[in-house]
């Protein structure tokens, strides 16, 4: 699954409410389904491949305290602010605190906390596109969001090859080379990533076909 970086998103909890910055206490809570500036977040990747959840409202980063309490405390990007990200087969997202090893959840009182390591339904989050209100799951968003300067984890799938011409038409030259990387989706990054994914998958498919032919 693709995870958008450096672009505004909403994080929707199992309750249907969005993660938001509480301007009075700084606590992270999920009290309603509002889609104002308080609810907009930006996911930022650090040099060590961890994820920071930043409030777009004031630029503060979500921090996990020893107690498990989640607050937008400051602009630090240390262990307390870093998360690992996992996804399940249904596309649900889990944020695991690098500080405590616990999974961020929206509790039944509407507060974000990291209390244990369970990966259950009420720990899951959805990444919501503010422009369309859709859950971020489709590879086609690579093309739709390339012009914004956003960064996306690599898109891997058979559809990648079909998307290359569209990316080339819209965003320019494809840079040669095959590999998986976190590419800036600027003029050439989008199509290059898609071309790389497509070429890699075709190589795998060709090898599989050759093996099958040799076995008959």
pLDDT greater than 90 at residue 2 = no
pLDDT greater than 70 at residue 42 = yes
Q: Tell me, what DSSP letter sits at residue 125?
A: B
pLDDT band at 75 (very low <50, low <70, confident <90, very high): very high
**pLDDT, mean of residues 12-32:** 90
Query: Is the distance from CB of 34 to CB of 22 less than 8 angstroms?
Result: no
The residue ranking higher by pLDDT, 30 or 24, is 30
Helices 159-171, 189-215: inter-axial angle, 10-degree rounding: 150
β-sheet bridge partners, residue 118: none
User: pLDDT tens across 117-132, in order?
Assistant: 999 888 899 999 988 8
> What average pLDDT does the structure give for the chain?
72
- Output the pLDDT for position 1: 58
- Output the pLDDT for position 144: 40
Query: Is the distance from CB of 68 to CB of 80 less than 8 angstroms?
Result: no
pLDDT greater than 60 at residue 190 = no
pLDDT band at 183 (very low <50, low <70, confident <90, very high): very low
β-sheet bridge partners, residue 72: 62
Q: Poorest-confidence range of 54-63, 81-90, 140-149? A: 140-149
Pairwise CA distance, residues 8 & 167, whole Å: 22
The residue ranking higher by pLDDT, 188 or 81, is 81
pLDDT greater than 50 at residue 196 = no
Q: What percent of the chain is predicted at pLDDT more than 90?
A: 46
- Output the pLDDT for position 89: 80
pLDDT band at 37 (very low <50, low <70, confident <90, very high): confident
β-sheet bridge partners, residue 69: 113
- Output the pLDDT for position 41: 96
pLDDT band at 137 (very low <50, low <70, confident <90, very high): low
């Amino acid at each position: 699954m693709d995870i958008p970086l450096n672009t505004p998103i909403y994080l929707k909890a199992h309750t249907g409410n969005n993660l938001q910055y509480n301007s009075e206490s700084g606590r992270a809570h999920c009290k309603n389904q509002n889609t104002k500036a308080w609810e907009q977040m930006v996911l930022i990747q650090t040099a060590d491949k961890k994820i920071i959840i930043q409030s777009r409202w004031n630029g503060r980063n979500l921090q996990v305290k020893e107690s498990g309490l989640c607050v937008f405390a400051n602009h630090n990007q240390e262990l307390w602010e870093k998360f690992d990200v996992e996804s399940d087969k249904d596309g649900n997202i889990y944020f695991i605190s690098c500080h405590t090893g616990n999974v961020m959840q929206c509790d039944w009182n509407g507060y974000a906390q990291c209390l244990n390591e369970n990966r259950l339904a009420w720990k899951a989050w959805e990444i919501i596109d503010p422009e369309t209100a859709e859950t971020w799951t489709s590879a086609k968003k690579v093309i739709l969001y390339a012009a914004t300067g956003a960064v996306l984890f690599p898109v891997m799938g058979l559809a990648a090859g079909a998307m290359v011409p569209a990316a080339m038409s819209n965003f320019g030259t494809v840079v040669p080379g095959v590999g998986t990387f976190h590419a800036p989706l600027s003029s050439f990054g989008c199509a290059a990533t898609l071309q790389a994914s497509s070429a890699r998958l075709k190589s795998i498919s060709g090898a599989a076909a050759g093996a099958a032919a040799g076995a008959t």
